[in-house]
């Protein structure tokens, strides 16, 4: 996960924007974990978030979107309640696009719910209680790990 922004960016100047997108995606994944999503669901969304990050930076590098608008603005420009942008890979099938669109719709809904909670600029931070009520977590490399409770 840490190298995603470097993999996405074809220009070194886009890496900082990629890091911000990664932080947004990490918060989204943490909320899915807190909501009890299965490992399979988490892996699927993680893979599609990689694709979305690539498509976001591609849109900026090709001039489709201005990069100085920020990560939230780019995401809001590319995803909506119908899905995300067309996958640019020539190997992407209709099935691949449907799975990608499902992740984009879920992320779009999540962004909307965060805006409803905090009008104005959306903070990129997951609210955490003192007690974890789930047994999965993301490590620094976005690998799913089981949380071991010690009492």
The Cα-based distances of 145 to 33, 42, 86, 139, 148 in angstroms read 11, 12, 32, 7, 9
**Tens-digit pLDDT profile for residues 18-36:** 999 999 999 999 999 999 9
Whether residue 43 lies inside any domain: the answer is: yes
Query: What does the alpha-carbon distance between residue 40 and residue 115 come to, in Å, rounded to a whole number?
Result: 28
pTM above 0.85, yes or no: no
Q: Does the residue 97 lie in any domain?
A: yes
DSSP class of residue 87 equals: P
Residue 151 included in any domain: no
Beta bridge partners of 145: 137
pLDDT of 126 above 60 = no
Residue 133 lies in a domain: yes
What's the pLDDT at 143?
Answer: 52
Percentage of residues in the chain with pLDDT exceeding 90? 61
Which residues constitute the domain of residue 111?
Answer: 4-146
For residues 73 and 148, the model is more confident at 73
Structure tokens at 18: 């990629």
Query: Domains in the chain: how many in total?
Result: 1
* pLDDT (average), residues 57-78: 90
Confidence label for 53 from pLDDT (cuts 50, 70 and 90): very high
Q: Evaluate if residue 11 carries a pLDDT over 60.
A: yes
Query: Considering the domain boundaries, does residue 80 fall inside one?
Result: yes
* Residue 37 belongs to a domain: yes
Q: Is the model's pLDDT at 150 over the cut of 60? A: no
E strands present in 29-141 = 136-138
- The tokens 């799975």 sit on which residue? 99
Question: Does the residue 102 lie in any domain?
Answer: yes
């Amino acid at each position: 996960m840490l190298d995603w922004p470097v993999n996405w960016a074809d220009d070194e100047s886009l890496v900082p924007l990629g890091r911000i997108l990664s932080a947004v995606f990490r918060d989204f994944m943490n909320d899915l974990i807190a909501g009890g999503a299965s490992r399979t669901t988490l892996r699927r969304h993680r893979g599609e978030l990689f694709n979305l990050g690539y498509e976001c930076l591609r849109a900026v590098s090709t001039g489709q979107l201005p990069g100085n608008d920020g990560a939230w603005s780019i995401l809001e420009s590319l995803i909506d309640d119908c899905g995300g942008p067309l996958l640019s890979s020539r190997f992407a099938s209709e099935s691949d696009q449907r799975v990608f669109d499902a992740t984009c719709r879920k992320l779009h809904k999540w962004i909307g719910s965060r805006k409803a909670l905090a009008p104005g600029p959306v903070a990129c931070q997951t609210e955490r209680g003192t007690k974890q009520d789930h047994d999965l977590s993301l490590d620094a490399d976005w690998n799913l790990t089981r949380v071991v409770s010690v009492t």
